[in-house]
Amino acid sequence: MKTLIIKIDGMHCGSCVSAVEKALIQVHGVQSAAVSLDAGQATVTYDPAYVSAADLVPAVVAAGYSARANAEPAPAPAQGGHCGSGSGKSKGGCCCS
């Protein structure tokens, strides 16, 4: 098993945490995902035989959040989709979607 820290932007409530955890745990090979709202990050334990670190960040992005593996440079922020910003993009059960 390997552990990866993913930095996540755009989480603001428990629903966001649940959405990110669900997105990560659904990836084949992920054993556990612990998401911290305060820290804005996820700690993912995964089996490198089934999944690589490069597969985990897109799973969070697909759930509607801006994410990057720890120690990588930050990508451009996601377009819209945040509280009241008006894009209407669904964020997987988020309170403001």
State the residues that interact with Cu ion by CB under 5 A. Answer: 12-13, 15-16, 94-95
For residue 15, the minimal CB distance to Cu ion (Å) is 5
For residue 84, the minimal CB distance to Cu ion (Å) is 12
Q: What is d(CA 33, CA 85) in angstroms, rounded to the nearest whole number?
A: 28
C-beta closer to Cu ion: residue 4 or 63: 63
For residue 21, the minimal CB distance to Cu ion (Å) is 13
Residues 6+ apart with CB under 8 A from 79: 87
